[in-house]
Amino acid sequence: MNRVELVRWAAWAPDIATQEEWQAWARAPRPIVGSGSPEVRFLPGLQRRRCDALSRTMLEVAHGCCPEPLLSEVACVFATRHGPFSTTVAMLQDLATGSPLSPARFTHSVHNAPAGLFSIWAHNPRASSSLAGGAETFAHGFLEAAALLHREPERPVLFVTADESPPEPFDSIADPGAGAYGVALLLEIGDGGGALEFSLRQAPGVLTPLAWPDALEFLRWWITGEERLILGRGTRAWTWTRRD
């Protein structure tokens, strides 16, 4: 099987945006706290106003990761564990109080809303997937991106994953380090300097959750140049191995 090559990456979290700031975070990682979203100044005003916090984050990292000539040509995978959490909770509160539901808010409450907004902004008609995989959403999204690559190896894949800081009343039961964040990876088939192998194995023991999202642990691993990364829950071990 041909190797997946990581060509470019971009990430965002509250108070961490530039690659230099992420490199500093990777050297001394800490839980991600806080909410909010980036300004997405590159979007036309009307589209920017229609975006909720999750869509803003996903479009911000997609814009930072994908060169403009490729925006309309890449296949895409958008992975988020909770989707537009704040929008969904606001609609549930409206239902509970008998308030009328906003059609615009409902439009952006569906799980594939960020993918649709990206396709409109980027004029991108290519294959796109939106998925959730619980605590292992990042690994399942990476697997989906790899599958798209091997189905159509001449076309790069933009893999975007993000989540919001859980709103009340769910913040009390959220995972540790569950602040707002977004990560985008531009993947190709190749054996260049960014080549890596990806597999699912039986874990040697019971794996425990990290203090920050799996996507950020992947980014930390990639930046620091370590050879192997193992992520997972229980006895499943999603494994990435860097290849020179």
pLDDT at 12 exceeding the cut of 90: yes
Of residues 97 and 234, more confidently modeled: 97
Strand partners, 162: 182
Distance CA 79, CA 139 (A): 9
What's the whole-number mean pLDDT along residues 185-202? 90
| Residue in 37, 132, 138 with CA at minimum distance from that of residue 87 | 37
Of residues 206 and 132, more confidently modeled: 132
Express as a percent the part of the chain with pLDDT over 90: 60
CATH topology of domain 4-192: Peroxisomal Thiolase; Chain A, domain 1 (3.40.47)
H-helix or E-strand spanning residue 162: strand 157-163
Residue 123 φ/ψ region, left for φ over 0, alpha for ψ in the -120 to 50 degree band, beta for the rest = left
What's the whole-number mean pLDDT along residues 93-104? 81
Distance CA 89, CA 99 (A): 13
| Residue in 155, 124, 128, 160 with CA at minimum distance from that of residue 141 | 160
pLDDT at 1 exceeding the cut of 50: no
What's the whole-number mean pLDDT along residues 80-107? 81
Identify the pLDDT of residue 111. Answer: 84
pLDDT at 70 exceeding the cut of 50: yes
